[in-house]
Amino acid sequence: MTDTEPAAEQTLSAAQSRHRCWDADIEPGLTIKSGSVVTFECQPGSGEAITPETSLEEAVSAPFPGHALTGPVYVEGATPGDTMEIELLEIEAGNWGHTLVRPGADGRGLLPEDFEDPYLYHWEISDGTAAFVNDIEVPVHPFPGTIGVAPDEDTAQSTIPPRRVGGNMDVRYLTKGATLQLPVAVEGAYFSIGDGHAAQGDGEVCVTAIETPLTVTARLTVDSESTIETPRFRSLPDATASITRNKFFGTVGTADSLFDASKIAVREMIAWLEDNYGLTSQEAYVLCSVAVDLSINELVNDPNWVVTAKIAETVLPD
Q: What is the pLDDT of residues 220-248, one digit of tens each?
A: 999 999 999 999 999 987 655 555 567 89
Write the CATH number for 297: 3.10.28.20
Residues 270 and 158 in one domain: no
Using alpha carbons, select from 46, 52, 43 the residue that is nearest to residue 71: 43
**Strands 69-75, 30-32: parallel, antiparallel or unpaired by DSSP?**
parallel
In-domain check, residue 92: yes
- In whole angstroms, what is the distance from residue 302 CA to residue 261 CA? 13
Picking from 188, 210, 238, the residue at the C-terminal end of a domain is: 238
**CA end-to-end distance (rounded Å), the chain:** 53
Laid out side by side, the sheet with 179-183 consists of 9-13, 36-42, 214-223, 83-93, 179-183, 232-234
The tally of domains found in the chain comes to 2
Q: Is the dihedral of CA 32, 36, 41, 42 positive or negative?
A: positive
Per-residue pLDDT of the chain (318 residues; tens, 9 = 90+): 334 344 558 999 999 999 999 999 999 999 999 999 999 999 999 999 999 999 999 999 999 999 999 999 999 999 999 999 999 999 999 999 999 999 999 999 999 999 999 999 999 999 999 999 999 999 999 999 999 999 999 999 999 999 999 999 999 999 999 999 999 999 999 999 999 999 999 999 999 999 999 999 999 999 999 999 999 999 987 655 555 567 899 999 999 999 999 999 999 999 999 999 999 999 999 999 999 999 999 999 999 999 999 999 999 998
Query: Are the CB atoms for 249 and 310 separated by under 8 Å?
Result: yes
- Same domain? 246 vs 215: no
State the pairing for strand pair 232-234/119-126: unpaired
Q: What's the whole-model pTM score?
A: 0.94
The closest alpha carbon to 289, from 128, 155, 121, belongs to: 121
Query: Which domain range does residue 48 map to?
Result: 9-238
Across all residues in the chain, what is the average pLDDT? Answer: 94
Provide the 3-class DSSP secondary structure of residue 84: strand
**Claim to verify: residue 110 and residue 199 sit in the same structural domain:** yes
Residues 158 and 255 in one domain: no
Please, what is the Cα angle at 207 between 240 and 92, to 5 degrees? Answer: 50
